[in-house]
Homo-oligomer: A and B are copies of this chain.
Amino acid sequence: MTPPPNTSTFGLSPGTLVYVGPEVAKDTTLKIVKYNEQYHEQHTIKQIKDCQISGDKPYISWLDVDGIHESGVIEAVGQLHNIHPLLLEDIMNTRQKPKIEFFNETYVFVSLKMLYWHDEMGEIEAEHVSFLLGSNYLISFQEKRTGDIFGPVLDRIKASVGKTRRNGADYLLFSLIDLIVDNYLEILERMSEELEELEGLILAGKHKDPISELYNLKRQLTLMRKYVLPLRDMLSQGLRENSKLIGKSTFPYFRDVHDHVINAIETIDSNRELLTGLIDIHYSTLSSRMNTVMKTLTIYSAVFMPLTFIVGIYGMNFDNMPELRQPNGYFYTLAGMAVLAGGLLIYFRRRGWM
């Protein structure tokens, strides 16, 4: 579900910082991680002025801003690191679609969505995430939620597992994006399973009213597509653009994420097509059930209407009705009706209605 508008931004001066996402109770947390192949340090910031990092150090600096709902904090971080007001607006704007922007050799701005799949409601939730990549540092901004989405990368840096410690800030950026994209594939896997279950029920005709479920799944896929599709172009633009900030040796890694994004888009699209097919099957099932119902009704009517008419005839009270006086009239009539009913049933069976 698109988030409801908390506030209107109409008529405000451009660059005015306004948070428009869901309400958040918690405070913003700031964390700094510094590392190179030999060294590793990580601590939480107490005072905003301590959060300043710079690229002229012998180690990589990563500042993670967890919470984008306090405009004061974002503005302060922005001023300390010289970030354009419009970018700060984009960082806080949870409705901003994924994009990449190159600011000469100063920094690269990347904005995308971390996704969560809420199984019970069958709904996708998006968390707005932004990155600012400098020559030797990275600043990440995320919405304040329970848990840390960057946990696995932090753990790998701490434990010195994988290549992150041996590489630059661009590889760190890749690792974080890779984490987010891997999560897309994870969610798609779970949606695929749900879809397959639904498919089984529909094909077996065991689901009475699957339309609203199918509709919701389709809606979630549409929403997901809206978040994932821009990533494809962002990544190819990132690979095309000749920025010094992203080293040639990191290119194969970005190409790999690009591959996964394309995989995700294709899975989304084929699932959407599947859903359309299932809706069609459901309608077809409805139609043929209606056919069965109508045939049943028609056969009942076709058999009993003539019979009821016949018994109606012999229920008339005319003085002169010779059949009524015949000793076996009643039995002949019963026999005649049995023959008629049988004949009609044979006729309908021959027409394929039974």
- Please give the residue numbers on chain A whose beta carbons come within 8 Å of chain B beta carbons, in ascending order: 1-2, 4-5, 8-16, 84, 86, 89-90, 95-97, 99, 101, 151-152, 156, 161-164, 174-175, 178-179, 182-183, 185-186, 189, 192-193, 196, 203, 209, 211-212, 215, 218-219, 222-223, 226, 252-253, 255-256, 259, 262-263, 266-267, 270, 273-274, 277, 279-291, 293-298, 300-302, 304-309, 311-321, 323-330, 333-334, 353
CA distance A294 to B302 in the complex (A): 11
Q: Is the CB of A320 within 8 A of B328?
A: yes
Chain A, interface SS category: helix
Q: Would you give the shortest CB distance from A299 to chain B, in whole angstroms?
A: 9
Query: 29 A–B contact pairs at CB < 8 A?
Result: A11-B151, A11-B152, A11-B182, A13-B156, A13-B162, A14-B162, A14-B163, A14-B178, A14-B253, A15-B162, A86-B253, A90-B259, A97-B259, A209-B288, A211-B281, A219-B274, A223-B270, A290-B291, A291-B293, A300-B302, A300-B305, A304-B309, A307-B312, A311-B312, A311-B313, A315-B315, A317-B317, A319-B329, A320-B329
Query: With A5-B189, A290-B290 in contact, is A273–B14 under 8 Å at CB?
Result: no
Q: Which of B162, B175, B311 contacts A309 (CB 8 A)?
A: B311
Q: Is the CB of A333 within 8 A of B316?
A: yes
Please give me the residue from chain B that is nearest to A84 by CB atom: B252
Q: Which residues of B contact A283 (CB under 8 A)?
A: 284, 287
Q: Would you give the shortest CB distance from A16 to chain B, in whole angstroms?
A: 8
Q: Which residues of B contact A174 (CB under 8 A)?
A: 14
Q: Is the CB of A327 within 8 A of B320?
A: yes
Q: Which residues of B contact A308 (CB under 8 A)?
A: 304-305, 308-309, 312
